[in-house]
Amino acid sequence: MNIDWVRKYCMSMPHATETVQWSDDLVFKVGGKMFAVVVLVPAKVWLSFKCSPEEFAELTERPRIIPAPYSARYYWVALETQDALPLAELEQLLRQSYRLVVEKLPKKASAALSATCGKRIQSTARRSARRKAR
């Protein structure tokens, strides 16, 4: 996996946008909120993303995965190398990062995203609850 793969995967998520910030970072956002960051120049880390508090504790115990500089208090982890995680696990964690951010979007931002494509963005928890109720 490489930067191109991460870019293609992140941009495949509904309403995902990308921007270059801080001159060297490719930032992926949904509703104006970051869910993943790729460093474009050689650095200590190459990819950062949000995770749950439980996963943060588990992931930071693994080799080549550290608390993300400046954002660890918000449960962001950083991968020091491209092979720090298997591809399937990285896909799942990036998808979860996206969902965590979407779930925390203000109602107004979530409604604006829904209006642009005609379907409502729902959190995984709400979808699961509706499925169980059927």
- Mean of per-residue pLDDT scores for the chain: 87
The total number of structural domains in the chain stands at 1
Taken in order 88, 9, 93, 47, is the CA torsion positive or negative? Answer: positive
Please say if the pLDDT value at position 125 is more than 60.
no
Domain assignment of residue 101, given as a range:
3-105
Contacts of 69 (CB under 8 A, 6+ apart): 44, 45, 78
pLDDT value at residue 119:
46
Domain contains 97:
yes
CB neighbours of residue 55 within 10 Å: 16
Q: What is the CATH number of the domain that holds 87?
A: 3.90.1150.30
What the block records as the tokens of 110 is 């979530």
What pTM was computed for the model? Answer: 0.81
CB neighbour class for 63 (10 Å; exposed up to 12, middle 13-18, buried from 19): exposed
